[in-house]
Amino acid sequence: MRLAVGATRLAAERGVLLLHAHGYRAGLVGALARWMGCRSRLVCTLHGFPPGPTGRPPAGPADSALLRFIGLSADRLIAVSHAVAGCAPGWRAADGAGKVVVIPNGVALGPERDEPRLTSAGRLVLMVGRLAAEKGALDFVRAAAALASRWPGVAFAIVGEGPLRAEVEQARMRLGLQERLTLVGRADARPHIAACEVLVAPSRSEGSSLVA
């Protein structure tokens, strides 16, 4: 609420014509600012929405109501994929009003880099993503365990950090993958992607994956 009050005051003081809210929380701040009387036009970009208890959308009732509030308050809604545009609760009416536009993520290609050497095994199967329920990190660990005995020459790795780090570590130990699965942590994913044989996107919910 404090952020919305500040945005409303700043927009009035500086004569701001357009507010761009990037993401779910920023969209909520912008919608509250409009509700408080902010006269600036509001554009909201969403990459996804809060996942439900299974890691998949739709979100819970409270988040669904807040997304509907954002959709009603904004002048234009940008979704990074048709999946986001079609699943966001309360956006159908906004879409019918011509508010929703799909603009896919752009991916910047950097210079070639030396390939990292994660393990002594031959081929690499890689996941890149936040260690969170909606990204399917534990699903990747379980799949690695199921395939490890069948693919003795394959190594597995995850690039990313997140709230499930401890659970992923525990699953790695419990399933006996200490020598087969490397948890890289937060790192530049591009050289790891260049080095892998297979890039896995096990997400349960994804707006428009920057990795895939």
Beta pairing partners, 182: 157
Question: How far is Cα 69 from Cα 24, in angstroms, rounded to an integer?
Answer: 11
pLDDT at residue 113 is higher than 80 = no
Contact 141, 181 (CB under 8 A): yes
* Percent of the chain whose pLDDT exceeds 90: 33
Question: How far is Cα 133 from Cα 138, in angstroms, rounded to an integer?
Answer: 8
pLDDT at residue 170 is higher than 90 = yes
Mean local confidence (pLDDT), 178-199: 90
pLDDT at 60: 66
Instruction: Please name the amino acid found at residue 119.
Output: T
| pLDDT tens for each residue of 26-82 | 988 999 999 899 999 999 988 776 555 444 555 567 777 788 888 888 888 888 877
* Percent of the chain whose pLDDT exceeds 70: 77
User: What does 138-199 look like in DSSP terms, one character per residue?
Assistant: HHHHHHHHHHHTT-TTEEEEEE---TTHHHHHHHHHHTT-TTTEEEEES---HHHHHH-SEE
pLDDT at 85: 75
pLDDT at residue 184 is higher than 60 = yes
**Burial class, 5, CB count within 10 angstroms (exposed 0-12 / middle 13-18 / buried 19+):** middle
pLDDT at residue 20 is higher than 70 = yes
From the CB of residue 142, how many other CB atoms can be counted at a distance below 10 Å?
14
Confidence grade of residue 166 (pLDDT, cut at 50, 70, 90): very high
